[in-house]
Amino acid sequence: MTSPHDTPPPPTEDLGLVDGLAQLSFLVQSALAEIAGQYDLSVVQTRMLGILRDREPTMNQLGHHLGLDKSSITGLVDRAQRRGLVTRTPSTVDRRSFQVSITDAGRQLVEQVAAQFAERIERCVEPLPATDRKRLSRMATRIVTADAHDHGIDLRTDPR
């Protein structure tokens, strides 16, 4: 296991919680953007495909999941559909609306991105001892969960 640089990073003074989390979020987002980009996907397209892995929402519901206006969803789905990553199926119960579904190609693509992303994040986190990694996982979960709770959002379950 040879790292890009062999000399260990010099001990840095603590960035503080706010700067630390901000910079960490940029690091994670950059990694995601870079990896997604290798498959000609944007972060938003990737998020959408991720959502569609275990849901078949209407355009409207998809907009809520992504926090985007319905007019933005139209274009987003258009472009993904043009690439054969998702499909629109007319709803059987409401003739105004569509069910958005991921295709096999789309699923395969997002799985690849997810796998490579996981690899990258695991690597970023290697400098931490295993105990800390476990702690970090718990803390991130706690923060994210509390926030979702504050906003009345169901997080990981599959409410379709």
Partner DNA sequence: TATTGTTATACTCTATAACTATA
Partner DNA sequence: TATAGTTATAGAGTATAACAATA
The size of the interface with a copy of itself (CB under 8 A), counted in residues, is: 55
Identify whether the C-beta of residue 51 lies closer than 8 Å to the C-beta of residue 62.
Answer: yes
Binding mask 35-64 for a copy of itself (x = CB under 8 A): ------------x-----------------
x/- map, 60-99, a copy of itself, by CB under 8 A: -------x--------------------------------
Beta strands in 22-67 (DSSP E): none
CA distance 153 to 11: 39
Instruction: Give first-to-last CA distance, the chain, whole Å.
Output: 43
d(CA 119, CA 114): 9
User: CB of 90: closest distance to DNA in angstroms?
Assistant: 9
User: How far is 11 from 152, CA to CA, in rounded Å?
Assistant: 40
Which of 64, 70, 79, 142 touches a copy of itself (CB under 8 A)?
Answer: 142
Nearest-5° Cα angle at 142, 140 to 145: 105
Per CB under 7 A, which of residues 95..114 are in contact with DNA?
A: 95-98
Per CB under 8 A, 17 contacts a copy of itself: yes
Taking CB within 5 to 8 Å according to partner kind, which of DNA, a copy of itself, none is near residue 158? none
Q: Is 58 left (phi over 0), alpha (psi -120 to 50) or beta?
A: beta
Residue numbers at the binding site for a copy of itself (CB under 8 A): 3-5, 9, 12-18, 20-30, 32, 47, 67, 117-118, 121-122, 124-125, 127-128, 132-133, 135-152, 155-156
